[in-house]
Structure 1
Amino acid sequence: MSKEVRDLIQKYLPDYSSSRFGNLYTDTTEFMNIDFSDVIKLGDEHFLVSKNEMERRFGLSDPKYWVKRCKRLENGQLQILKLVFYEKFPMNIGPFKIECYRSPRKEARILDLVRGDMRFMQGYSKSDSAGNNVRVLDIIRGKRLDVWVHNIPVDHRTYFHEYFPEILEKYIGACEAIKFLHDNDEKHGDIRRDHLWVEYGTEDYRWIDFDYAFELYENPFGLDVFGLGSILIYLVGKANLTPQTLHEHGVDPAMLSSLSLGDYSVIIGNRIVNLRKIYEYIPVSLNNILMHFSSSSLVFYESVDELINDMSRILNEIRGL
């Protein structure tokens, strides 16, 4: 098979410098076997694999063996191929137990739905020879929103007054993009801060990764709403604040004595949600939005509409501070 790969690469990439020529794969079922210099064939398209993408969370990096960074031989375009990988796991949020799972076909549907809508990543799906649904994705040139915010080189007070109003306005737009999915009876499924990117040049906010689905019979879109709330808490605080990290952000750890269990997140128990107790200049109206996602809340947002309406109302208030 290496000769076939060699002939393909020499045809399309005559300046290819590596001396290694891998195998040609038309069936991607055993994705762990597909590695650097292999070629994946989907219909009449050929993709040269350069590496596995990485999952970067909590300061750790783990390879995502089912997600390959590739170069399409026919035009030299860099793209990401997401191969079929199934997993299922439970999640608990307050009184709710949620069953989460991966659905490649659900992600393929959303790619079709949002084609041309640059609030979302772009791509298409193709079946390999075994019928696996492979998603072919354009690469977003940009940076994760949380990293973008973290890298703003100012103290929190300056950030909140000078940068946060514009960030909130753009974030409301990102929430409206999720509302578009819900209005079309689709869920993002895995809303978290590393799945919202800021594109270089345009500075547009763009959602990525739609292959998670979930079952929450009490509220079909509830997990998406909780995810949006978690991102908002990060954006307001310019960080995820916990008892262990307060000193890193110039906050006196002695203030912990003023916090009760109800001031923490209903999702991640050590994450502080009642940020007004830390930064007294955060308006009560904004802090009240955050507290809907606290363990003391008796009322949760039922829809993205409700969250958007509340954020929109306080945007002008924040701009006037």
Structure 2
Amino acid sequence: MSEDVRGLVERYMPEFPVRRCGKVFTDTTQFMDINHGDVIELGGSHYLVLKDESERRFGMEDPKYWVKRCRELETGESKILKLVFFERFPLKVGEFEVQCYRSPKKESRILDMVADDPRFMHGVTRLDEKENPVRVLDIVQGREIGKYVYAIKADHETYFRERFPAILDHFLGACEAIGTLHAKGEKHGDIRRDHLFIEYGSGQYRWIDFDYTFDFHENPYGLDIFGLGNILIYCVGKQVWNAGNLDEGGFSAETLNGLGSGDHSLVIRNRVVNLRKLFPYIPVELNNVLMHFSQQTEVFYDSVEEFLDELRPCRRLLG
């Protein structure tokens, strides 16, 4: 490591042991070689790598070796650097197969597009010496919507009547944000509840992670719409309800025996969508929106606006 970079580390992170400083990388192609203590140089700025980011999936930590938590040495600011990583996989949606893949350039386009929109994460793209588009992201200080909802200390009926209406208000705004992307010909691509954050302080709902995209010929934006539906189902139910935890919900045997395959999700096939069977105080109109994402549906939402046209009137039923 050069003396200039060592000096930056000593100046901005005096608590960081200089002996742990590693190599300076100007080419991020081999991201697996970039580790804690290394420095990534982009356009004259230096980013000290602190750790690899990870996601918690299916109860396990899933490391994302191409996503680095860093400190920008010149400013002292914390940043996330997303390096170039490609993957492709199919996803079944009912009888359809959707091709999903990562597109770093697509994420860069969206970052430029939403630079002044507080409903999305912000960042810039910097090219390394091999022209790899590295996304330098501001960290959204907040909590994932799923964790926020699950942590509310109330029984379901109290939650649904007293807390869910305000959550729905904000969720409607988050859906409108996705509609804005679609109107400009872009997709979020990976809509999940851990990609929608509630920002500390402001309470603003903000979307993160735009590097996935998909080819769904039957409905160009369909996977985004299914993602919104999954978040709505979670928020209405206050959690996921499936075969693994229904016994813990205190439901009667008659209720549980009344659930059939058509009451479950089209995409995540063991997840209950027909929540009115579990919680009969959920309005029929709201439950009908949920049922568009069930195995028994014959009609799919073609656009976010069509989804919102049926969801917005439900708000008035909640008081």
What TM-score comes out, normalization by structure 2 length? 0.97
| Residue 17 of structure 2 is aligned to residue 27 of structure 1 | no
Secondary structure (helix, strand or coil) at the match of 1:62 reads strand
Q: Please give the alpha-carbon distance, in whole angstroms, between the structure 2 residues aligned to 1:145 and 1:197.
A: 6
1:72-151 matches, cutoff 5 A: 72-151=72-151
AA aligned to 2:317 is: E
Q: Which amino acid aligns with 1:187?
A: K
Q: Which residue of structure 1 lines up, in the alignment, with residue 60 of structure 2?
A: 60
Q: Which residue of 2 aligns with 1:262?
A: 262
Q: How much does 1:203 deviate?
A: 1.1
- Residue 259 (structure 2) pairs with residue 295 (structure 1): no
Q: SS of the residue aligned with 1:175?
A: helix
**How far apart, in 1, do the equivalents of 2:11 and 2:119 lie?**
36
Query: Residues 10 and 18 of structure 2 are in contact (CA less than 8 Å); yes or no, is this contact kept in structure 1?
Result: no
2:145–2:198 Cα contact (<8 Å) kept: yes
Asked if structure 2 preserves the Cα contact closer than 8 Å seen for 1:80 and 1:136, the reply is yes
Q: CA deviation at 1:126?
A: 0.7
Which shifted more, 100-109 or 56-65? 56-65
CA distance in 1, matches of 2:86, 2:103: 7
**Identical aligned residues as a percent:** 55
State the distance in 2 between where 1:318 and 1:7 align. Answer: 59
Moved more, 9-18 or 225-234: 9-18
How far the C-alpha of 1:58 sits from its partner, in A, is 1.9
Aligned partner of 2:44 in structure 1 is 44
Counterpart-to-counterpart distance in 1, 2:232 and 2:199:
19
Aligned counterparts of 2:254 and 2:23: Cα–Cα separation in 1: 60
Deviation string, structure 1 residues 276-303 (Cα, Å, up to 9, x no partner): 0000100100000000000000001110
Residues 116 and 260 of structure 1: CA distance in aligned 2, closer, same or farther (over 3 Å)? same
State the SS of the aligned residue for 1:273.
coil
Shift of 1:217: 1.2
Q: 2 CA distance for matches of 1:38 and 1:274?
A: 50
The Cα shift of 1:246 comes to 1.4
Matched, 1:203 2:221: no
Tell me how far apart the structure 2 counterparts of residues 253 and 239 of structure 1 sit (CA, whole Å).
20
Aligned partners of 2:46 and 2:73 also within 8 Å: yes
CA distance in 2, matches of 1:54, 1:159: 30
- For 1:181, the equivalent position in structure 2 comes to 181
Contact 1:120 1:207 in 2 (8 A): yes
Whole-angstrom distance in 2 between the partners of 1:18 and 1:279 = 58
Distance 2:97 2:312 in 1: 31
Q: Distance in 2 between matches of 1:187 and 1:281?
A: 34
Distance 1:61 1:253 in 2: 35
Structure 2 distance, partners of 1:98, 1:314, is 30
Whole-angstrom distance in 2 between the partners of 1:271 and 1:41: 45
SS in 1 for 2:163: helix
Query: How far has the Cα of 1:3 moved from its partner?
Result: 5.1
Q: Is the 8 A contact 2:9 2:18 kept in 1?
A: no
Q: Secondary structure at the match of 1:19?
A: helix
| 1:227 alignment partner in structure 2 | 227
**Residue deviations 1:161-193, cap 9 Å, x none?**
000111011100000000000000000000011
In structure 1, list runs of 5 or more residues that go unmatched: none
Q: Residue 247 of structure 1 corresponds to which residue in structure 2?
A: 247
Residue pair 2:196, 2:206 contacting (<8 A) in 1 also: yes
Rounded to whole Å, the distance in 2 between the matches of 1:248 and 1:208 is 32
TM-score, normalising length: structure 1? 0.96
* Corresponding residue for residue 316 of structure 2: 316
What does the per-residue CA deviation read over 1:295-315, in whole Å, with 9 as the maximum and x for residues that have no partner? Answer: 000001110001111111110
Find the aligned partners of 1:276 and 1:192 in 2 and give their Cα distance.
23
User: Is the CA contact 2:190–2:227 (under 8 Å) kept in the aligned structure 1?
Assistant: yes
- Measure the CA separation in 2 of the matches of 1:105 and 1:236: 35
Structure 2 counterpart of 1:91, one-letter code? L
How far apart are 1:11 and its partner, in Å?
Answer: 4.8
Query: Does the 8 A contact of 1:53 with 1:64 survive in 2?
Result: yes
Aligned residues: 319
In structure 2, how many angstroms separate the alpha carbons of the residues matched to 1:12 and 1:272? 50
Change (3 A) 1:253 1:76: farther
